[in-house]
């Protein structure tokens, strides 16, 4: 009986300076990196559309939409930079995959609520309609990131012969 073994190799480029600083330039071409870039661009459009329009039909709704979009834009930028510069390895006391999972779960719900409220209250103002559409796009992208981070954080783990869980390296997955 013959057996076939298929192996795959992932290569990322890393630059290291003399002081231990390393740049993971390949992260921006991975699926989680591209999702984060898409989310940041969509949230930037949402923030700019809501911030630049004058005469909001419902001041409280669009102020909430503006604050939520800016908050999660900054949080996504921080997570992106942490992965790009491999800073999560310098702070091992924090469970980063679980932190990102909670970030995506809260972000998906809050941006969805803000987008629904903005869709109801936009009253045909074109900039606010564009912001609402990009809010829904961001919600979809964050739901995809939530699903992928769930599979990394809460998915099935390998077990050894004795039934105990084996350590799994998630840095290659992210």
* Tens-digit pLDDT profile for residues 111-139: 999 999 999 999 888 999 999 999 999 99
Range of the domain at 74: 28-153
Decide if 99 is inside a domain. yes
Decide if 4 is inside a domain. no
Contact 121, 61 (CB under 8 A): yes
Q: Look at residue 16 and give its three-state secondary structure.
A: strand
pTM above 0.85, yes or no: no
Q: Rounded to whole angstroms, how far apart are CA atoms 171 and 75?
A: 19
What pLDDT score does 152 carry?
A: 65
Decide if 81 is inside a domain. yes
Where the chain has pLDDT below 50, the residues are 18, 163-166, 168-174
Decide if 9 is inside a domain. no
Decide if 165 is inside a domain. no
* Tens-digit pLDDT profile for residues 147-156: 988 776 676 6
E runs forming strands in the chain:
14-16, 22-24
Decide if 160 is inside a domain. no
Q: Rounded to whole angstroms, how far apart are CA atoms 57 and 120?
A: 10
Q: Rounded to whole angstroms, how far apart are CA atoms 13 and 109?
A: 35
Decide if 130 is inside a domain. yes
What pLDDT score does 149 carry?
A: 82
Domain count, the chain: 1
What pLDDT score does 66 carry?
A: 94
Other CB atoms within 10 Å distance of the CB of residue 100:
26
Decide if 100 is inside a domain. yes
Contact 68, 135 (CB under 8 A): no
């Amino acid at each position: 009986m013959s057996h076939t073994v298929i192996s795959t190799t992932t290569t990322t480029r890393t630059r290291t300076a003399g002081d231990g600083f390393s740049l993971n330039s390949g992260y921006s071409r991975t699926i989680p990196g591209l999702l984060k870039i898409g989310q940041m661009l969509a949230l930037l459009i949402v923030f700019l559309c809501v911030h630049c329009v004058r005469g909001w039909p419902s001041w409280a709704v669009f102020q909430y939409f503006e604050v939520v979009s800016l908050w999660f834009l900054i949080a996504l930028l921080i997570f992106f930079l942490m992965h790009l510069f491999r800073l999560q390895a310098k702070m091992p006391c924090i469970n980063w995959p679980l932190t990102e999972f909670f970030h995506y779960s809260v972000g998906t719900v809050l941006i969805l609520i803000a987008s629904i409220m903005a869709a109801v209250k936009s009253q045909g103002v074109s900039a606010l309609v564009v912001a609402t559409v990009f809010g829904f796009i961001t919600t979809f992208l964050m739901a995809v990131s939530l699903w992928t981070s769930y599979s990394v954080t809460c998915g099935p783990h390998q077990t050894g012969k004795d039934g105990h869980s084996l350590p799994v390296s998630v840095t290659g997955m992210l």
